[in-house]
Amino acid sequence: MYQLRQLKMLCLWVPLTALGLVIGTGPLYGGRPGKASPASPTGTQDLSKYVGADTCRGCHEEVFKQFETTPHWKTLLDRRKGKEWQGCEACHGPGADHVNAGGGKGVSIFTFANVSADEISKRCMACHEYSEEHSNYSRSAHKLSEVSCIDCHSPHHAKGKQFLLSADQPQLCYSCHQETKPEFGKPFRHRVNEGLVQCTDCHNEHGGFLTRQLRSAATQDAVCFKCHVDKAGPFVFEHQPVKTEGCVACHVPHGSSNPRLLKRSQVNVLCLECHTLTAGSGVPGLPSFHNQAQKYQACTVCHIAVHGSNFDPVFFK
């Protein structure tokens, strides 16, 4: 017994030490062991030109005070890498020439003005590309459309409540996606404007593998299952389109004039889009007794479990 306990202790101890080593020697953020890091976030090779944030503070007291209140202040604590990874110069590049010239607008310092979205994002990504959330930025519709990190984030003038956002959701998103705004004003909608659901619950604003930058749940299922778990199944009797085409086969995700966010105002019209008597379609047609002038219009009054059932092949329960 004694030996077994010792063994258990060892099992606990070894991974803890390994963890300690990683924390102890790894960089505070970013730089993954084994992957060669660039010389500096800004790609500058001549490291003698970095003067340190205290020097900047001398003339930019206000900016420095604000900087101290943001998460980027933490970069000053990271002494394992050089000055080029710390403070102001990690973003603005080496400041020696700017300082020696006595500072000034447009004088030898990187300002983010008049440069491509790509170049801006590259600077930020030098530290941020390693998180899972951001590693797909390069494939995002945002990047491909020249939207850069600082179109949504503002290191010095953030107005959002968190994450240094230039505005909070959904206003941030509406500022460019004006076409989306009316959809969330419809009578039936996800309550995004009320803050109950966020755009980024469904979309990864930083990019991902699915179309429309949709998020997928951990299980790679549709994003909708994250909240509507009861629709996920698996069911003994699946309603095929829920699995093959997904929720948008019948629902409009943002908002709709129809109850339950349905694509069609009348349920039978929706169902009949597929359940017609087209030979060879693979979709069962309506039984002949389903007279559409009568009670058979309201399909889901009888076929209640339209998302799938564990009890009934025609979804009566």
Question: 7 vs 182, which CB is nearer to ligand HEC?
Answer: 182
Q: Candidates 3-11, 19-27, 31-39, 66-74 — which segment interacts with ligand HEC by CB under 6 A?
A: 66-74
Q: Where are the beta strands (DSSP E) in the chain?
A: 188-189, 237-238, 255-256, 308-309
Residue number, 8 or 139, with CB nearest to ligand HEC: 139
Q: Residue 14 CB, nearest distance to ligand HEC (Å)?
A: 27
Residues 120-149 that bind ligand HEC (CB under 6 A): 121, 123-128, 131, 133-134, 137, 141-142, 145, 147, 149
255 and 186 Cβ atoms separated by less than 8 Å: yes
Q: What residues numbered 172-201 form the site for ligand HEC, per CB under 6 A?
A: 172-173, 175-177, 180, 184, 190-192, 196-197, 199-201
Beta pairing partners, 238: 308
- Are the beta carbons of 183 and 173 closer than 8 angstroms? no
Query: What is the rounded distance in angstroms from the CA atom of residue 104 to the CA atom of residue 120?
Result: 21
Compare residues 44 and 268 and give the one whose CB is closer to ligand HEC. Answer: 268
User: Does 248 sit near ligand HEC (CB under 6 A)?
Assistant: yes
Shortest approach of ligand HEC to residue 309 CB, angstroms?
Answer: 9
Site residues for ligand HEC, 265-304, by CB under 6 A, read: 267-268, 270-271, 273-275, 282-284, 286-287, 290, 295-296, 298-303
> Binding of ligand HEC at residue 255 (CB under 6 A)?
no
Distance CA 235, CA 161 (A): 42
Report residue 315 as tokens: 């979804």
Burial level of 188, CB count in 10 A (0-12/13-18/19+)? middle
- Please, are residues 106 and 116 in contact by the beta-carbon 8 Å criterion? no
